[in-house]
């Protein structure tokens, strides 16, 4: 384990090795990731009940602290918290005190003074959730809902849950991630999770301009065209072009990108006959994927959305449980 991995692990886990923050896949082992998946599995049936609630976070206050806009992620975190019986506060950053000059630290102190128990943080700057986790009062759990280009661990885990549901496990699986790898925090977290869980190969398919310079160190192979890249692939994960993060002319045009790297029925035939198609959303039809594929029988994109609620319930309940266990141990130590 590298120094970075060890540091990330120490920050995220309590003294008993239980989750207390969920910031990144870095430093987490297969046992813990499997525990998250298993816990999420147990929550799936909650969404099928007439009354979709369990009391695990009753009395807790969860604050959705989104410095970046997001409909899907914020909505699923809010639903997850409510299904766990928590009270939820959605903070509108555009009208909050931070937009009026108040520092992030002062905003957090004020929220902590309201007896908040958990912050779900989405931020355009890489490392912001880590900073918050290091700064908050002990006992407050921090969940990373996406930070800069760095990580989006709950998205990666809902993708892992979807893969496990449809493929049974990860041993022997070959997974292709296609598109804008360079700007994708989701791709980084997916690569880490797939490697930890034992996938045989993670293959990136993209033009060289949309690959990070350190791609060889990520634990994956690279292909530059769809025909060779999709050969023998079990799972295809398409990514959207993140124009809002691009600097300079990295692509000739969206039309040219779709012609070469867009997934249509013809290109899908290069993969295994039972390959599944995934996309973290939002989908840009006709840019990275054809509607016939996105809505076709091999697409599991809507399953991913459903699984997002279960994964976020799992992570939130486990992190709060880890914080409570740590508080109990600290109290015993002071007695």
Q: Is 72 annotated as a binding residue?
A: yes
Both tokens of residue 193? 């999770």
- Count CB neighbours of 314 within 10 A: 28
CA gap 333, 317 in Å, rounded: 24
Q: Is 240 annotated as a binding residue?
A: yes
DSSP 49-83: SSS----TTTT-EEEEEESS--SHHHHHHHHHHHH
Q: Is 281 annotated as a binding residue?
A: yes
Enter the DSSP assignment of 48.
Answer: G
Q: Is 129 annotated as a binding residue?
A: no
Nearest C-alpha neighbor of 9 from the set 126, 17, 132: 17
Yes or no: say if 91 and 43 are a contact pair by the CB < 8 Å rule: no
What do you get for the CA distance between the two ends of the chain, in Å? Answer: 35
Longest dimension (CA), the chain: 68
**Contacts (Cβ under 8 Å, ≥6 apart) of 27:** 1, 4, 5, 6, 7, 8, 9, 10, 12
Q: Is 166 annotated as a binding residue?
A: no
Nearest C-alpha neighbor of 164 from the set 293, 28, 40, 19: 40
Yes or no: say if 316 and 57 are a contact pair by the CB < 8 Å rule: yes
Yes or no: say if 71 and 192 are a contact pair by the CB < 8 Å rule: no
**CA dist list (Å): 93 to 8, 74, 101, 124:** 27, 13, 12, 12
DSSP 151-167: B-HHHHHHHHHHHHHHH
Q: Is 298 annotated as a binding residue?
A: no
Q: Is 73 annotated as a binding residue?
A: yes
Query: Residues within the annotated binding site?
Result: 72-73, 100, 122, 152, 155, 185, 240, 281-282
Query: Residues within the annotated binding site for carbamoyl phosphate?
Result: 72-73, 122, 152, 155, 281-282
Query: Residues within the annotated binding site for L-aspartate?
Result: 100, 185, 240
């Amino acid at each position: 384990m590298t120094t970075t991995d060890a540091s990330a692990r120490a920050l995220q886990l309590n003294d008993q090795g239980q989750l207390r923050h969920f910031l990144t896949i870095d430093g987490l082992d297969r046992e813990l990731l499997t525990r998250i998946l298993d816990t999420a599995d147990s929550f799936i049936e909650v969404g099928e009940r007439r009354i979709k609630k369990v009391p695990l976070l009753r009395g807790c206050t969860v604050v959705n602290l989104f410095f970046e806009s997001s409909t899907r992620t914020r909505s699923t975190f809010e639903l997850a918290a409510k299904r766990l019986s928590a009270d939820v506060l959605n903070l509108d950053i555009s009208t909050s005190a931070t937009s009026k000059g108040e520092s992030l630290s002062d905003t957090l102190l004020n929220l902590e003074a309201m007896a908040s128990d958990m912050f779900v943080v989405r931020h355009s700057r890489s490392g912001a959730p880590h900073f918050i986790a290091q700064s908050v009062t002990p006992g407050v759990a921090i969940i990373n809902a996406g930070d800069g280009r760095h990580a989006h661990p709950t998205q990666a885990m809902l993708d892992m849950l979807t893969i496990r549901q449809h493929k049974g496990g990860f041993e022997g699986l070959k997974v292709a991630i296609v598109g804008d790898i360079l700007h994708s925090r989701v791709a980084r977290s997916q690569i880490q999770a797939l490697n930890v869980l034992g996938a045989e190969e993670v293959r990136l398919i993209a033009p060289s301009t949309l690959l990070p310079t350190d791609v060889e160190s990520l634990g994956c192979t690279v292909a530059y065209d769809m025909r060779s890249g999709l050969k023998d692939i079990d799972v295809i994960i398409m990514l959207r072009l993140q124009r809002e993060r691009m600097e300079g002319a990295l692509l000739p045009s969206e039309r040219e990108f779709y012609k070469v790297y867009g997934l249509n029925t013809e290109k899908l035939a290069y993969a295994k006959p039972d390959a599944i198609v995934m996309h973290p959303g939002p989908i840009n039809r006709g840019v990275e994927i054809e509607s016939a594929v996105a809505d076709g029988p091999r697409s599991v994109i809507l399953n991913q959305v459903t699984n997002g609620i279960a994964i976020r319930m799992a992570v939130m309940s486990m992190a709060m449980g880890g914080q409570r266990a740590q508080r109990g141990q600290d109290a015993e130590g002071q007695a």
